[in-house]
Amino acid sequence: MKVENVLIVGGSGFLGRHLAAELARRALRVTIPTRRRERAKHLIVLPTVDVVEADVNAPGVLERLAKGRDAVINLVGILHGNFERAHVELPRAIVAACRAGGVPRLLHVSALGAGPDAPSEYLRSKARGEEVVLGAAALDVTVFRPSVVFGPEDRFLNTFASLARYLPVLALACAQARFQPVYVGDVARAMAQALEKPEAHGKRYELCGPREYTLKALVEYACAATGRHRLVLGLPPSLSYLQARLLEWSPGPLMTRDNYRSMQVPNVCAQDCTLPFGLVPTALEAVAPAYLQ
């Protein structure tokens, strides 16, 4: 079936911006609900994209928005807060809305490392969400599990680049944590292609970039790319945990104890696996300098 009309739940954020642009380039009609229209201003200029102010958690809203779509895409994810609600209950409601509205196709973004026995509630709740969507009857589902995603508006490299403006030394928790960052444009392309591919039904795809880095190497890279060569000091585990605990009290925390636990498992793909459908992953070094500067 040709997909022409898509609803992106959670599409007002970082990945949504790039996925909406990718789908608009392919002339798909896209609807994106947001709880604050102000947050999605950047999407309004895209020719086939419609932004609507709506809270998808309110009764009946998802059913109304999903009805008659060719596909629904779920990008909702949080790093702190009510994980059960955002990562499990909302996907369950999305599945129900798809079934009620005759939607045949669902793409769902989870996270690399999600698993029932993972050390953090973020990763365990993402795993429960995957089970909810993949267990749905009469719905063709594809799950994506990206490593950390980089790109112009990311909150990862950009955050460290900003910190380096003010701090002469960066005291870094979990400095040896391993990541295989994937470019946001590659994630968007993989998802757009999956919409048309029957072989993607019922599959989970890990999404990674071409190289693995420690967190310390990534922070040093972000500093150097902005012309600020800062001393990056890796904290031992006890101080890393303490830093997470202290930061947890700040508004919109940079880190929490749950994030600390997530970083105890390597965020890297299985060997020789980066992107599906023959896509070639973009190197961090090819893209990041332009936006970090």
- Regarding 7 and contact with ligand NAP (CB under 6 A), the answer is no
Q: Which of 3, 6, 22, 34 is close enough to bind ligand NAP by CB under 6 A?
A: 34
Count of positions on this chain that bind ligand NAP (CB under 6 A):
23
Binding region for ligand NAP (CB under 6 A) out of 12-20, 132-140, 212-220, 237-245: 12-20
- Regarding 291 and contact with ligand NAP (CB under 6 A), the answer is no
Q: Which is nearer to ligand NAP, 52 or 167 (CB)?
A: 52
- Taking the C-alpha atoms of residue 62 and residue 140, their distance in angstroms, rounded to an integer, is 18
Whole-Å CA distances, 292 to 39, 79, 211, 262? 22, 23, 19, 25
- Regarding 288 and contact with ligand NAP (CB under 6 A), the answer is no
Q: Which of 6, 7, 16, 258 is close enough to bind ligand NAP by CB under 6 A?
A: 16
Structure token digits, residue 270: 């299985």
Closest contact distance (angstroms) between CB of 146 and ligand NAP is 4
Q: Which of 35, 67, 99, 203 is close enough to bind ligand NAP by CB under 6 A?
A: 35
Q: Which of 6, 103, 148, 287 is close enough to bind ligand NAP by CB under 6 A?
A: 148
Q: Which of 6, 12, 73, 213 is close enough to bind ligand NAP by CB under 6 A?
A: 12
Q: Which of 107, 149, 287, 288 is close enough to bind ligand NAP by CB under 6 A?
A: 149
Binding region for ligand NAP (CB under 6 A) out of 76-84, 94-102, 251-259, 273-281: 76-84
Contacts with ligand NAP, residue ranges (CB under 6 A) = 10, 12-16, 34-36, 39, 56-57, 75-78, 86, 109, 111, 146, 148-149, 156
